[in-house]
Amino acid sequence: MAKKLLIIGAGVEQVPAIQIAKEMGYFVITSDYNPKAPGMSLADASFIISTNDKKGNLELARKEQIDGVMTVCSETAIPVMGHVCEQLGLPGFTLDTAVKSTNKGAMRKAMEEYNVPMPARVFVDTYEEVEEFTNQHAGPWVLKPSDSSGQRGTNKIEDRDKLQWAFEEAKRFSTDDKVLLDQFISGQEINVCAIVKNGETHILSLADRNTLPSPHFGIAVLHIAPPNINNEEAEAVKEVARGAVEAIGLKNGIAYPQIIVTKEGPRLIEIAARMPGGYNREMAMNLSGVDMIKAQILLALGEKFELEDLQENKRYAASGVKLLTSVDYPNLTGKSIESLKGEDEALKVSGMQSCKFHLSVGDEIPDLENSVGRFAALIAGGDSKQQVLDTLEEAKSKLIISVK
């Protein structure tokens, strides 16, 4: 009898995991609050349960007698996963690891215990505490919710007069009413994709994470590899990444550390115990030949495998993901799409692998308020970083978006 795998979430980002798990011969169950989520009809069984419903997903897991549980890209599902794994003794990670990878206060404490370098930061409940920290540490400063994702409620502040607004904005998106306040440090941001197997961290890829300035601070619009750091810096980044994995207690699963390389060395911004969004999975697969989704499925079910056995895909020296937003099309923002043309032409550009639109005819081009506003992605592989960048720009030039 096929093993049963519960995939929490049935949205667009979970669809590949549902499809791959079924291809691997497993019985796939999904849970999502949206009965029309695309993965609901693809799974062997689906249930209308929210991704952040610990009790509901645990009851489902018990009733269906699942053998493993996982999610893809969903931050809110991570504590639910940890809860289900812990309660049922399933492979995966504990609730403690889940909390340390999603709550920035618990994460900070864990990093301090393991001497993982981070920017100067504090967690505050009141604006008076904001004033105290900013009097001690020169700006700019970054304020963000303690437990949110997708850059919601996150702002970089240079003008002290805007600190109180940023504090209130971050608090609005925080579920525990706490705000994370960082001293901003400059440097190259690096995305790290890794597989953790039996406590050993295997780095699949390092890539530059290029983001927009305020008012869209922190929203990534380009992932490109190889990164703009030297070999010594790359090794230091890997060391910080491994330390962060150890600090949160992750033994089996996917790790996604985000690290900034400064003049004083790399500093951890944060780490997630989940598959990254922004098509970093495709980036990592291009660079390593390994599909993180396949690895996560096997880890979630406690299957035995060697990482080398998963190197099934073509490897590239360079890879990139360009994410399109209203910043690319400022005159179209808020307008309804009449037609989308040029996708086939874009895919004909040498090196192009995929052109993904998250909008359809009739939808409006969204204003870029957080990562959800990234409405399309171009993915390419090649022999060099410049070749990939040229490919992405040429492909973008082929796209024609008409609005009403």
127-155 average pLDDT score: 81
Mean pLDDT of the chain: 92
379-391 average pLDDT score: 97
Q: 148 pLDDT exceeds 70?
A: no
305-309 average pLDDT score: 92
Residue 312's closest CA among 337, 333, 288? 288
Residue 314 banded pLDDT, cuts 50, 70, 90: very high
Residue 147 banded pLDDT, cuts 50, 70, 90: low
Distance CA 327, CA 330 (A): 5
pLDDT at 11 (0 to 100):
92
Give the rounded percent of residues in the chain with a pLDDT score beyond 70: 99
What is the gyration radius of the CA atoms in the chain, in angstroms?
A: 21
| H or E element that contains 27 | strand 27-31
Sheet holding 121-124, edge to edge: 121-124, 179-183, 141-145, 155-157
Q: What is this structure's pTM?
A: 0.88
286-308 average pLDDT score: 96
| Surface-to-core class of residue 225, CB atoms within 10 Å of its CB (0-12 exposed, 13-18 middle, 19+ buried) | buried
pLDDT at 124 (0 to 100):
86
- pLDDT tens, 199-237? 999 999 999 999 888 778 778 999 999 999 999 999 999
Non-local (6+) Cβ contacts of 157 within 8 A are 139, 140, 141, 142, 143, 163, 166
Torsion 84-89-93-98 (CA) sign? positive
Distance CA 117, CA 240 (A): 8
The DSSP letter of residue 296 is: H
